[in-house]
Amino acid sequence: MTGSPKVAERRVRLASAIIASAIAIAGLCYSSWVLEFVLNIGIDPVNSFLSELDAEGKPYRQVFAVADTIVGAVLMPAVVAGLLLFPRRGFTTAGWMALFCFGAATIADVLLPLHDCAPDDSTCGGPSALFPQLHQPHALSSTLAVTSIAVAAFAFSLAALRYHRWRILREFGLAVLVVGSAATIWMLVADNLTGNYALGIAQRIQVGAMSLWLLTLAAAVILEGRDWTDPT
C-alpha cells in the first residue's frame, strides 16, 4: 500500500508530460506560418493575412492546412485530459474550455478556407483588400480562434495571479499576453484608419505571441506539474 501514492504520482507526471507535449506540438504547428519566408508563396508579409497561406489555389496550401489541423487534433484531447486530471477551479476551467474552442476553431479555419485568392491575383491581400477579403465564413472561424485563445490566456494568467502559482505563467506568459494584446490593438485601430499600417506584420506578431504562449503553458504544465495537482 505504501507504494500506491508513488505509483499514482508517477501516473500523474506521465499524464502531465503527455498533455504538455500535445500543447507544445500545437504551439509549434501554429507557428508554421514562418515557412512563408523559405517557401515560394508569393505574398507580401507586410500587407497580407496569414489566412492566405492556406487559401484555395495557393501554393503549399496543404502544408499549412495540415499544420492547423494538427493544432486542433492534439489540443482538444489534451484539454479534455487536463480537465479530468487537474483540479477544476474557476479560472483554469474557463481557460481549458477556451483552449478547446480554439482547437475546434482552428480546424474550422482549415475546413472554411479563403476562396477568392487565386495564385495570379496580385490584389489579393493588398492594403485595401486585407480585411474585406475575410468577410466570408472563414472570418467567423478566425475570429473565434483568436478570441478563444485570448480568453484562455487571460484566464490562465488570472489563475496564476489568483492562486499564486505557476510562476512561468505569471511572468513570462503574462509578458507574451501583453505583446499579443498590443498587436491586436494595433490591428483594430489601424484597420479603421486610412493608409497602410503594416497590418500583416501586426497579425504575425499576434499569432507569434499565441504560439509562444502555448509553449509557455506547456512548460508550466511539465515543469510545475505539482502545482497543478496540489490543493490550493
pLDDT of res. 3 = 54
pLDDT value for 128: 41
pLDDT of residue 123: 39
Q: What confidence score (pLDDT) does residue 42 get?
A: 83
pLDDT in tens, the chain (232 residues): 445 667 777 888 889 999 999 999 999 999 999 999 999 888 889 988 888 888 888 889 999 999 999 999 999 999 999 999 888 889 999 999 999 999 999 999 999 887 754 444 443 444 444 444 445 687 888 989 999 999 999 999 999 999 888 889 999 999 999 999 999 999 888 877 777 788 899 999 999 999 999 999 999 998 876 666 665 4
Q: Would you state the cell numbers that stand for residue 153, as one nine-digit string? A: 490566456
Q: In the chain, how many domains are there?
A: 1
How far from the centroid of its chain's Cα atoms is residue 131's Cα? 20
Give 118-125 contacts, CB < 8 A, sequence gap 24+.
118/57, 119/42, 119/57, 119/58, 119/59, 124/43, 124/48, 124/52, 124/55, 125/43, 125/44, 125/47, 125/48, 125/49, 125/52, 125/200
At 49 the pLDDT is 87
8 Å CB contact between 217 and 62: no
What whole-number distance in Å separates Cα of residue 88 and Cα of residue 78? 15
Lookup: cell for 50? 496569414
Q: 174-189 in b/e burial notation, b at 16+ Cβ within 10 A?
A: bebbeebeebbebbee
C-alpha closest to that of 60 among 44, 39, 32: 39
Q: What is residue 226's predicted lDDT score, i.e. its pLDDT?
A: 67
How far is it, in rounded angstroms, from Cα 202 to Cα 204? Answer: 5
Q: What is the DSSP letter of 47?
A: S
Q: How high is the pLDDT of residue 230?
A: 62
- How far is the C-alpha of 103 from the C-alpha of 210, rounded, in Å? 12
Range of the domain at 34: 4-229
Of 89, 74, 92, 86, nearest to 153 by C-alpha is 92
Using DSSP, state whether 188 is helix, strand or coil: helix
Distance between start and end Cα atoms, the chain:
26
